[in-house]
């Protein structure tokens, strides 16, 4: 590895390391605020939102750290719908703009999968952001839907959108690192690559769903799936 490569390889661990300190500072500051203001702030919906976002930030750092570490990662059973709800909450500001064109409702029968919930959250968030970008680009009526589908070996989070779709000639490039069709400053082209790498680490996958797939939504112009093993292998 030359010096430039080595610098690059240290970038992600370095970033995680550096971010942990301000994050601890934010958490400490929040505890102090709560201590000073008590129930006047603790019950506020906006305050709870900030708390949950800080918690998500911690989870993201954790999932990146697990991605960078060698060896077999720790896995556990988790409820997939809870991960979807967290992703929706995390993107609430953007999803609100879609109004009724966005749907992530699920029934009371939940599905349990095996892996690392923060890696699944990371993957769902990235795929969902892409779907929202695509729908917004396509105009006023484009829909986005997230649903959880259960199979015998995998649980899938399917994200469908009514954007312009992915041109056939670009499909094989989607997961390449730094492949982006977004304007400079808007996309890094790392979203799908990192999401897939993270999911693979836990025996899962991220795929573009084929047009002929029987479970694909009929109106979807693009559908991605985040696959999570249903149980340990």
Site of interaction with ligand ATP (CB under 6 A): 126, 130-131, 134, 161, 163, 166, 174, 179-182, 187-193, 222
Q: Which does 181 bind (CB under 5 to 8 A by kind): Mg ion, ligand ATP, none?
A: ligand ATP
**Minimum gap (Å) between residue 187 Cβ and Mg ion:** 6
Token digits of residue 6: 């080595």
- Cα torsion angle, 5, 183, 192, 82, sign: positive
Closest distance to Mg ion from the beta carbon of 126 (Å) = 5
Does 130 interact with Mg ion (rule: CB under 5 A)?
yes
Q: Which does 158 bind (CB under 5 to 8 A by kind): ligand ATP, Mg ion, none?
A: none
Q: Which residue is nearest to ligand ATP (CB)?
A: 191
- The residue (of 127 and 230) whose beta carbon lies closer to Mg ion is 127
> Near Mg ion by CB under 5 A, which window of 51-59, 127-135, 200-208, 212-220?
127-135
- Shortest separation between residue 47's beta carbon and Mg ion, angstroms: 30
Least distance in angstroms from the C-beta of 91 to Mg ion: 12
* Buried-exposed string 36-75: b where 16+ CB fall within 10 A, e elsewhere: eeeeeeeeeeebeeeeeeeebbebbbebbbbbeeeeebeb
Encode 194-227: b = buried (16+ Cβ within 10 Å), e = exposed: bbbbbbebbbbbbbbbeeeeeebbeebbbbbbbb
Q: What is the DSSP string of 124-168?
A: HHHHHHHHHHHHHHH-TT--EEEEEEE-SSEEEEEEEE-SS---G
Of 73 and 189, CB closest to ligand ATP: 189
Cα distance between residue 233 and residue 30, in whole Å: 42
Q: Taking CB within 5 to 8 Å according to partner kind, which of ligand ATP, Mg ion, none is near residue 180? A: ligand ATP
Residues 85, 105: Cα–Cα separation, whole Å: 9
Does 163 participate in binding Mg ion (rule CB under 5 A)? no
| Closer CB to ligand ATP, 89 or 176, in the complex | 176
Tell whether residue 222 is a contact of Mg ion (CB under 5 A): no
Structure tokens at 206: 């991220």
The CA angle 138-143-144, to the nearest 5 degrees, is 110
Residue closer to ligand ATP by CB (options 45, 183) is: 183
Residues 178-217 that bind Mg ion (CB under 5 A): 191
Q: Which residues bind Mg ion (CB under 5 A)?
A: 130, 191
């Amino acid at each position: 590895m030359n010096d430039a490569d080595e610098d690059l390889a240290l970038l992600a661990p370095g970033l995680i390391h550096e971010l942990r300190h301000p994050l601890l500072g934010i958490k400490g500051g929040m505890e102090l605020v709560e201590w000073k203001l008590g129930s006047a702030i603790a019950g506020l919906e906006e305050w709870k939102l900030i708390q949950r976002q800080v918690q998500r930030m911690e989870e993201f750092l954790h999932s990146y750290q697990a991605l960078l570490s060698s060896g077999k990662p720790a896995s556990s059973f988790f409820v997939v719908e809870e991960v979807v709800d967290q992703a929706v909450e995390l993107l609430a500001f953007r999803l609100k703009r879609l109004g009724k064109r966005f749907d992530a409702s699920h029934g009371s029968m939940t599905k349990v999968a095996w892996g690392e919930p923060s890696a699944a959250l990371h993957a769902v968030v990235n795929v969902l952001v892409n779907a929202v970008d695509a729908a917004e680009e396509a105009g006023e009526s484009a829909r986005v839907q997230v649903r959880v589908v259960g199979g015998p070996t995998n649980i899938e989070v399917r994200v469908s959108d009514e954007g312009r779709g992915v041109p056939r000639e670009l499909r094989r490039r989607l997961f390449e690192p730094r492949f982006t069709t977004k304007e400079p400053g808007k996309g890094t082209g790392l979203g799908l690559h990192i999401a897939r790498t993270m999911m693979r680490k836990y025996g899962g996958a991220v795929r573009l769903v084929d047009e002929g797939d029987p479970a694909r939504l009929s109106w979807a112009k693009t559908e991605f799936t985040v696959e999570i093993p249903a149980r340990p292998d």
